[in-house]
Amino acid sequence: MLVTGCGSGIGRAAALLLDRSGCDVYAGVMSEAEEGDLRAAGSERIRPLILDVTDSSSVEAAAGRVAGEVGERGLTGLVNNAGIAAAGPLEHVPIERLRSVFDVNVFGLLAVTQAFLPLLRSGGGRIVNVSSVGAWISLPFVSPINASKAAVKSFDDALRMELAPHGIDVVAIEPGSIRTAGSEGMVAMGDDAIAALPEAGRERYGERMRAFVAAMSKSELKGSPPDTVAETILAALTVRRPRTRYPTGSNARLLTWLGRLVPNPALDRLRDRLFG
């Protein structure tokens, strides 16, 4: 198995759960400190490797290392989990920041998938992409990550149909509210984002964004732990016939259905009510 974004949160929980389940796991991390942490927390089955999904040379080196070690056995699974977020009103989100979100969440995901597909073919593996309920229901002030996950949803649908004749399943994991280390600092991060706005932006959006971040923080702190998503990832990798999508964690099923079924005007009013 290969899991990206294992330095913290869902990726770390997934790598350690797969390890405890008896799987050999290549765990993509961004630093030697994260590498050491995973080695200390797991068994000899955990094999951390430095993997920056936005750096083609890093992706190529990781694919080369894994291919050299697994040989013709290939890989039984790829979990594309690496992701970042950006917050703020779209009028003021720097385009470079928006590009960086898509570089990791969308283009990095596809780059890793392309690099490791030969090993997945050899191993009869499957692809599990960690998406979000935000692929179905976008929210104000966090739309960069919602938009990137909507793009991933489109890739999921296309990859699933393109790879089905090759026997490679493509599965989407769609977490709802998940309580991570970043949840406790969400209000402070929101304050920083507001402070970074130009004066006119703070006047137009500051009060609404502060209310939204407070509501989001409250929801996240009551959310499911990363282990809940990790268990869903394990199931998606190991069941005989995986579903195409797995909503998981607090409010996940509700939010995906709201995004599909409720007309936009009513959904806008509901979102305003839920998030202040």
Q: Domain 2-84+96-181+225-274 carries which CATH code?
A: 3.40.50.720
In whole numbers, what is the pLDDT of the chain averaged over residues? 92
User: What is the Cα–Cα distance from 156 to 276, expressed in whole angstroms?
Assistant: 32
3-state secondary structure of 46: strand
What Cα–Cα distance (Å) separates residue 51 from each residue in 80, 104, 151, 172, 248? 12, 12, 22, 21, 26
pTM for the full predicted model: 0.92
Per-residue pLDDT of 71-123, as tens digits, reads: 999 999 999 999 998 889 999 999 999 999 999 999 999 999 999 999 999 99
Per-residue pLDDT of 139-198, as tens digits, reads: 899 899 999 999 999 999 999 999 999 999 999 999 988 887 666 667 777 888 899 899
User: What is the Cα–Cα distance from 137 to 146, expressed in whole angstroms?
Assistant: 8
- Which of 125, 19, 32, 29 shows the shortest CA–CA distance to 70? 125
Domains of the chain by residue range: 2-84+96-181+225-274
DSSP code for 11? H
Q: Retrieve residue 15's tokens.
A: 């790598």
